[in-house]
Amino acid sequence: MFTLSTPVEQRSYHHRDLRRALISSALEILSEVGVSGLSLRAAARRAKVSAMAPYRHFADKEALLAAVAEHGFQLLGARLTAATATAADPRDGLAELGVAYVVFARDEASLFKLMFGPSIEKKSAHSALDEAGCACFDALRQAVEGARFFDEEPDLNDVSLACWSLVHGLSALVVDGRLAESGRGPPEAIATRLTRLLVSALAALADADPTAVGSNTKKRPRSADALPDRPRKKTTTLIINQPTNDPQNE
């Protein structure tokens, strides 16, 4: 109930848009000072509401962080979908999706760190956040499936993980400033080269041996006097997980 003593700037958020206003304020704070400066009280102060108002929607600071990270995954998912939708063909779409991932990390470095960093200790406890994150990976997997390098389920999963490892690892290097003075060009240019290199390598691998298990090329029948198959070279995929650390002050 409003009274004459209620400041005008506090009245406007006493409705269903309060949650949205707090998330918007949190995004501003995150962009300016990072996750260490983000708290319920700081978000309330930025939204010009009382210190107790955020508790109507967020049980604690982690709940607010989870909502902000969820918003980040929604933004990322929209960019990934748009990238594949405008591509000339599915394989180009996969490469463009990877570039969009890296560009998002460059443009939203603090948000990216929150989404994937340790600030939210119990990510699985926030179902909406988990669903938003899974939707992004599903967009990547659908792009891999559309590229038709391989048809078998295990191969699709491995290729999806390999693609994610490349773009996420590159994004982490960009966010941490490791490539700033490398002389390799801006992040978008680097991402374009590397994603196209990976797509070309996958295409070559899939088309090299039509009889290989999982190839998307139909197997040729073998005659009775056909030569024995050449032994296949074993390949090893090295996945390096380089977390982005962003200390958090409660």
- Give the pLDDT confidence of 148-160 residue by residue, as tens digits: 998 888 889 999 9
List residues bridging with 215 in a β-sheet: 150
Contact yes or no for 207/137 (Cβ under 8 A) = no
| pTM to 2 decimal places | 0.78
CA nearest to 94, candidates 216, 236, 199, 241:
199
Residue 22: per-residue pLDDT: 97
CB 82 within 8 A of CB 209: no
For the segment 151-176, the average pLDDT, to the nearest whole number, is 94
Confidence grade of residue 247 (pLDDT, cut at 50, 70, 90): very low
167 CB-contact burial (10 Å; exposed 0-12 / middle 13-18 / buried 19+):
buried
Q: Which domains does the chain have, with CATH numbers?
A: 15-58 (1.10.10.60), 69-208 (1.10.357.10)
* Residues contacting 212, CB < 8 A, separation 6+: 232
Please report the sign of the dihedral spanned by the C-alpha atoms of residue 243, residue 244, residue 249, residue 250: negative
